[in-house]
Amino acid sequence: MNVLVWHVHGSWTTAFVQGRHRYLLPTLPERGPWGGGRPVAWDWPASAVECSPAELADADVDVVVLQRPEEIDIAERWLGRRPGRDVPVVFLEHNAPRGGPAASSRHPLADRDYLRLVHVTHFNELMWDNGTTPTTVVEHGIVDPGHRWTGELEAAAVCVNEPVRRDRVTGTDLLPRFARAVPLDVFGMGTDGLGAHLGCPDVRTVGDLPQHRMHDEMARRRVYLHPLRWTSLGLSLLEAMHLGMPVVALATTEAHEAVPPGAGICSTDVERLVRELGALVAEPERARALGEAGRAYVLERYGLDRFLSDWDDVLDRAVSDRAGHASGRRVPAGLGRR
């Protein structure tokens, strides 16, 4: 198939474009949120093709995968076809509800009979009010970075973007408590000056590194800490487990599914997590064993083959549900079917 999809979330899209389809990525000269195209620093297959709005107007698009409500109107304008009416459409929801009582949050695509709403976790599907819109859960898949854990540095790795702005959502306020047990090395965007902001020199900034370098550097730390209170399911947690890192995580949202007993330490008792963090740093062989158990678990549950197979089912269903509505427009050179 030819699948129109925006590059919104790097790690998720990296897994998605590994499939057997051709992926048309809207691309603008200035890039930006609506035309990011292929990322320079990520290794994506040749089947992920950059397309300008002018090229999309003539492209043979089998299905559109939307990730933001605004993309509905943008796709109609650039394709000259209405998603859900003239071309099959799927809406992918990455996030848990935000603001107010989560269980009362109505999804912006609720009560739509022309699309399928795909959630990345069962928690998200449960907490959003989806109305009558048909829903499916396709759990994350990870491109396996390989077992890289060495644990040579007696520190914990933390991955979080914009921890100062997001504060309690990302558990930023908890970091000084965890730093009592072990120094924390924080990876991600907007982390500069975090230790000074918290008044805690043992919260140290590494910064926003390219993915391959981030994986190498994370794996040098003895343990991975996941302190987020409210998130869909941080892909960095799953990546750390793929690396063979032992993990300590707050048991919030979907984390307990990703870190079951025996695959890591997961609890809402912060003091217990602080103790476990210190113990894992002090016991490298236990840390190694826990990391290997966690890696075996995520390879099975969040493996790439399962993820791509599930998405093939979703895309096939979307196309079959809208059979007979193809636009019949010609395909420009380089954008045709395989």
Pairing of strands 63-66, 184-187: unpaired
In 3D space, the residue among 24, 292, 285, 310 whose CA is nearest the CA of residue 139 turns out to be 310
pLDDT digits (tens, 9 = 90+) for 205-234: 999 998 899 999 999 999 999 999 998 898
pLDDT digits (tens, 9 = 90+) for 33-47: 999 999 887 789 999
Q: What is the mean pLDDT of the chain?
A: 92
- Classified as helix, coil or strand, 9 is coil
Say if residue 104's pLDDT is above 90.
no
Q: Give the Cβ contact number of residue 293 at 10 Å.
A: 17
Looking at domain 2-141+304-321, its CATH architecture is 3-Layer(aba) Sandwich (3.40)
- Classified as helix, coil or strand, 32 is coil
In 3D space, the residue among 286, 13, 233, 220 whose CA is nearest the CA of residue 123 turns out to be 233
Quote the tokens at residue 228. Answer: 């987020």
pLDDT of residue 101: 57
Euclidean distance between CA atoms 89 and 63, whole angstroms: 6
User: Can you tell me the mean pLDDT for 71-76?
Assistant: 97
Say if residue 99's pLDDT is above 70.
no
Q: Give the Cβ contact number of residue 210 at 10 Å.
A: 12
| CATH code, 153-301 | 3.40.50.2000
pLDDT of residue 98: 84
pLDDT of residue 137: 98
pTM here is 0.90
Euclidean distance between CA atoms 98 and 83, whole angstroms: 26
Euclidean distance between CA atoms 124 and 117, whole angstroms: 11
Q: How confident is the model at residue 8 (pLDDT cuts 50, 70, 90)?
A: very high
More confident residue, 105 or 155: 155
Provide the residue type at 76 as one letter: E
Q: Give the Cβ contact number of residue 183 at 10 Å.
A: 18
pLDDT of residue 336: 35
More confident residue, 329 or 61: 61
User: Can you tell me the mean pLDDT for 292-312?
Assistant: 97
- Classified as helix, coil or strand, 26 is strand
pLDDT digits (tens, 9 = 90+) for 177-204: 999 999 999 999 999 999 999 999 999 9
Domains 2-141+304-321 and 153-301 share a fold: yes
Domain residue extents for the chain: 2-141+304-321, 153-301
Euclidean distance between CA atoms 333 and 55, whole angstroms: 9
pLDDT of residue 103: 65
Q: Which residues contact 40 (CB under 8 A, 6 or more apart)?
A: none
Euclidean distance between CA atoms 237 and 267, whole angstroms: 15
